[in-house]
Amino acid sequence: PPPGGGGGGKPPLIVVLHGAGINKEGVWSLADPQGEHAGLAPSLLASGRAPAELSENFAVIAPYAAGKTSFYEEPRKRLLQFVAWALSDDGRRAGCPDADPDRVFLFGFSDGATVGVELLTTKRFA
């Protein structure tokens, strides 16, 4: 079962923070199984190759630092606002998954991992 239980039947949310790179391809490059971020949760989910433990138990979102080399060029407040929006009615209407706002986890790699550690200090994440 998903970590923490509860959530009124809603799955916990994993926020995937990518590392530094060119980031000029657009957000859908995160889901490209042949792209720069191949093998990470968004590309595995999009290609149907994600383990059932992930695809059946968690909701996943992946903000994208479009046109920037890293999330270091984004204020942390903007990432927190994105997560709040993704969990809102507006976010769901835009296609974000309906997830438990009390069980939000961070997964980052490279620069995204460093930004994730910084975001953990806000105490917003599980």
Write out pLDDT tens, residues 52-101. 888 889 999 888 777 777 777 777 888 999 999 999 999 999 999 999 99
Name the token pair of 75: 């204020």
What separation, in Å, do the N-terminal and C-terminal C-alpha atoms of the chain show? 16
d(CA 57, CA 43): 17
Rounded distance, CA 62 to CA 93, Å? 17
When pLDDT is cut at 50, 70 and 90, the band that residue 44 belongs to is confident
Q: Are 97 and 7 in contact (CB under 8 A)?
A: no
